[in-house]
């Protein structure tokens, strides 16, 4: 793990990890609400590296070992997109392929809209456009996500398991032991419920991107679970519909997580998109 200091307009610190040969096409993985870079499992990163890309995963602002903005004014997804581009600057990368999950998909979309020269391709996973008429959560999923924050490490683990049982993939087996292990590691790295609240504010204050998404011209892949109760599949359909030429892949039985059984296929689709975008450069 390394830390890039003074990143982006906010001059914040961003913790990151790199996998694979430096000379391979760079793929930046942007994670979702309140989730550290560990939300991109090592095994999934290895699947991507095995398909010829260089992977960078990082902690967004307000999670993990990146800066926590306790005293800062509210921020938006555009600010988080600027962090992402700032990390590219710190890594001396002129551009990269962006892969975002959930809120990370929203951040990657904003980066592709606002910094088009820095984005080689866009993959938006289990995300949405910001249009309130699509991608809405079920009441059960929303209640689970907004349940009271944990007071202890053990509570944090149980809370996460309970949430994933609601929003996860009904068509695939949950590796609960691994989820418990990863949640414990994340808690030990940094636990900041206030940071999650600030990220929620960023999402809710950033508005509808539908019209702006039409400006995206880079190769785009939209991945969504047909059984996603937190971001309804209509959000993925709307995202793909707003971006000319976007490819839409909907997985039956997939909810709002990355089931191990789908890692290989998802990684293959991302790698194919990267190869296609690299060939067109």
Report, as residue numbers or ranges, the catalytic residues: 102, 228, 256
Measure the CA–CA gap between 170 and 174, rounded to whole angstroms: 9
Within 168-281, residue ranges assigned H as helices are: 176-189, 193-204, 210-213, 233-242, 263-280
> Helix (H, G, I), strand (E, B), or coil: what is residue 262?
helix
Q: Is there a contact between 82 and 204 (Cβ–Cβ < 8 Å)?
A: no
Could you give the maximum distance between any two Cα atoms of the chain, in Å?
51
Which residue has 């809370």 as its token pair?
Answer: 159
243, two tokens: 């971006």
- CA distances from residue 3 to 67, 84, 209, 228 in whole angstroms, order as listed: 10, 13, 31, 33
Q: Is there a contact between 58 and 66 (Cβ–Cβ < 8 Å)?
A: yes
Q: Is there a contact between 221 and 249 (Cβ–Cβ < 8 Å)?
A: yes
């Amino acid at each position: 793990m390394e830390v890039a200091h003074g990143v982006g307009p906010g001059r914040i610190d961003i913790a990151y990890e790199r996998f694979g040969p430096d000379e391979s096409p760079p793929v930046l993985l942007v994670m979702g609400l309140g989730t550290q870079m560990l939300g991109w499992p090592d095994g999934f990163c290895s699947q991507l590296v095995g398909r010829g890309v260089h992977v960078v995963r990082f902690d967004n602002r307000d999670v993990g070992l990146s800066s926590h903005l306790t005293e800062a004014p509210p921020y938006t997804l555009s600010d988080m997109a600027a962090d992402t581009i700032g990390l590219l600057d710190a890594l001396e990368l002129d551009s990269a392929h962006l892969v975002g999950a959930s809120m990370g998909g929203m951040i990657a979309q904003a980066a592709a809209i606002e910094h088009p020269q820095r984005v080689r391709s866009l993959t938006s996973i289990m995300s949405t456009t910001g249009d309130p008429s699509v991608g809405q959560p079920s009441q059960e999923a929303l209640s689970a996500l907004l349940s009271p924050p944990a007071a202890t490490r053990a509570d944090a683990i149980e809370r996460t398991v309970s949430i994933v049982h609601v929003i996860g993939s009904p068509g695939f087996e949950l590796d609960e032991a691994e989820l418990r292990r990863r949640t414990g590691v994340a808690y030990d790295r940094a636990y900041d419920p206030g940071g999650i609240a600030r990220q929620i504010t960023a999402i809710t204050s950033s508005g509808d991107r539908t019209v702006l998404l039409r400006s995206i011209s880079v190769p785009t892949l939209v991945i969504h679970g047909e059984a996603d109760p937190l971001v309804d599949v209509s959000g993925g359909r709307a995202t793909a519909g707003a971006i000319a030429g976007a490819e839409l892949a909907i997985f039956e039985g997939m909810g709002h997580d990355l089931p191990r059984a789908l890692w290989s296929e998802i990684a293959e689709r991302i790698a194919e998109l990267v190869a296609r975008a690299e060939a067109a450069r």
